[in-house]
Amino acid sequence: MMDINDLYVRMLLGVLAMLAAVVVGLAYKGIDRKIAAHMQSRIGPPLRQPFRDISKLMQKETITPDGAVDWIFHGMPVIGLVAALLLVLYIPWGPLSPPLKAHGDLILVLYLLIIPSLAMALGGFSSGSPVAAIGAQREMVMMMSYEFPLAIVILSLAWFYTRVLPGSAPFAFTTMEAAPIWGLVGPIGFIGAVLLLLSLVVVTPSELSKIPFDAPEAETELGGGLMAEYSGRDLAMFYIADAVKGLVMAAIIVGLFFPHPLSPIVEKYYALPLIMDQPVVAWIIDGLFFLFKVFLVLFATVTTVRVAFPRLKIDKISYIYLVPVSLMALAGTLLLYLDTLGGV
């Protein structure tokens, strides 16, 4: 039975992790907007603008539209935010293990990833607005499209670890951190792992409803789409959930494919005994390196993509995920399978 003091420590760590995720997620949102503006030859908003937006929304009146189903309309932002924050508790954050690592793995993470998007769709349907209903329908179509290649990537990685590391927990982040996939594959498997990584990279902007996969909101077309009727604290909760979910998606990519720490390299090549004598220094180095990797992933999957490409139509989005991206993920799975046969 868990000691009561250990339970309190885990609860405290969980709360701190969620607060840190909110702050870092909003900070990354500000960095993303600033970099995107400079890439488009604009000045852009200040880095602290997301925090200003949240502060302003919290002070605004929360309006309930006529014809809305109140308890669903106002309940969905809470559910979406809670699900996004719960994700933080199951994801490794650099040198820090997830507070609830013993109570969930990638399967649970997949379920929790769906909830914020599903909450937005249900909120749009319950608003009574035809514009929001159109946006919600598009969100549901997108979910059914990108969840398929996402599931292929996760299941393929888990299957591969059961083959090369029998007896391990294939869906646990700790397994992939201890033995990154790049050190377990041959040339054929390496190509397969790259294809799975590319599939996950393409899924990420759609999972976050970012341009060019923002058809459910489409401000210039639907005036905000499924978010059109939200205001005040409800909109602020969805805004925070989006920031946290973006951070989590980048952390998942880092955890699955790039979990390598930096402190051993610094210690080996720069001969710094301080790292060995002071573990906190190694934690700080690995923590900053993890945040840097998360930033690179967000820059590659969100910032660059939304600046370089225009919005796609919903039928085109669905086709991209159900055909080329799914085929690419299946090809990666096949190459991993062939790699395991070659190693027998």
Question: What is the per-residue pLDDT across 119-143, written as a single tens digit (0 to 9) for each?
Answer: 999 998 998 888 888 888 988 999 9
**What pLDDT digit, counting tens, does each position of 218-239 carry?**
776 766 778 888 889 999 999 9
Q: pLDDT tens, 58-68?
A: 999 888 888 88
Average pLDDT score over residue span 300-318:
88
Decide if pLDDT at 168 tops 60.
yes
Q: How far is CA 37 from the centre of its chain?
A: 23
DSSP string, 95-139: TBPPTTGGG--HHHHHHHHHHHHHHHHHHHHHT--HHHHHHHHHH
The number of domains in the chain is 1
69: which DSSP letter?
-
pLDDT band at 257 (very low <50, low <70, confident <90, very high): very high
What residues make up the domain containing 248?
4-342
Query: Could you tell me which residue, 4 or 166, shows the higher pLDDT?
Result: 166
**Mean pLDDT to the nearest integer, 165-179:** 82
Token look-up 């602290």 returns 48
**pLDDT tier, 17 (very low <50, low <70, confident <90, very high otherwise):** confident
pTM value? 0.90
Residues in Cβ contact with 245 at an 8 Å cutoff, skipping those fewer than 6 apart: 25, 84, 87, 113, 116, 207, 208
pLDDT in the model for residue 247: 92
What pLDDT is stored for residue 1 in this prediction?
45
| Res. 283: pLDDT tops 50 | yes
Q: Residue 93 in 3-state DSSP? A: strand
